[in-house]
Amino acid sequence: MIKKRYKKLIDITIQSLIDAQVQCVMLDIDSTLLKWRTQRVQENELTWCSAVQDAGITITLVSNATKSRAEKIALQIDSEFISPAYKPWPFGLLKAARMCAVKKENCIMIGDQILTDRFAAFFAGIRFVLLEPISNVEFGITKVNRFVEKHIMRRKNL
Ligand SMILES: [Mg+2]
């Protein structure tokens, strides 16, 4: 049984994908496969991707990132990619299904954002798994910065 939510990508077992008759995994990049604004797929995720591919399941990156960024990531996991996919529009996902020559019911989209990933999957009629975004120190600091900025601006009446 494949659940609707997991904490991390690597928590999804290969067996659960096989049992759910998944033949094509559509994968978001940022905060799903790797930390936001980083370039390297980490060891655990690399291992997970090759295990999925060894099971005969295709992985296609479907990301709103730029083409050059998606290409760099795709090279590391030896996958196809569709970028920018303009999620929540469903067209990138539908194209990915056509590229893999896999029926929609044998696809699954995995991502960390409801407004982009989940809606795109919904509009495309493709199953969806929501992950918790990979925590990102940079992002945390940005959030703190924003809070501080707001506070300063309020005090200075800017
Ligand atoms: Mg994401």
Distance separating alpha carbons of residues 31 and 8, to the nearest angstrom: 10
**Overall number of domains in the chain:** 1
pLDDT tens column, 113-139 = 999 999 999 999 999 999 999 976 555
Residue ranges for the chain with pLDDT beneath 70: 136-146, 149, 153, 155-158
Q: Kindly give the distance from the C-alpha atom of residue 78 to the centroid of ligand 1, in angstroms, as a whole number.
A: 19
Distance separating alpha carbons of residues 13 and 76, to the nearest angstrom: 21
Q: Kindly give the distance from the C-alpha atom of residue 18 to the centroid of ligand 1, in angstroms, as a whole number.
A: 24
Which domain range does residue 30 map to?
5-156
* pLDDT (0 to 100) of residue 1: 86
* pLDDT (0 to 100) of residue 59: 98
Report the number of secondary-structure helices (H) and strands (E) in the chain. 6, 6
Q: Kindly give the distance from the C-alpha atom of residue 153 to the centroid of ligand 1, in angstroms, as a whole number.
A: 30
Q: List the CATH number of the domain containing 76.
A: 3.40.50.1000
DSSP string, 27-69: E--BTTTB-TT--PPPHHHHHHHHHHHHTT-EEEEE-SS-HHH
* pLDDT (0 to 100) of residue 23: 98
Structure tokens at 79: 């996958």
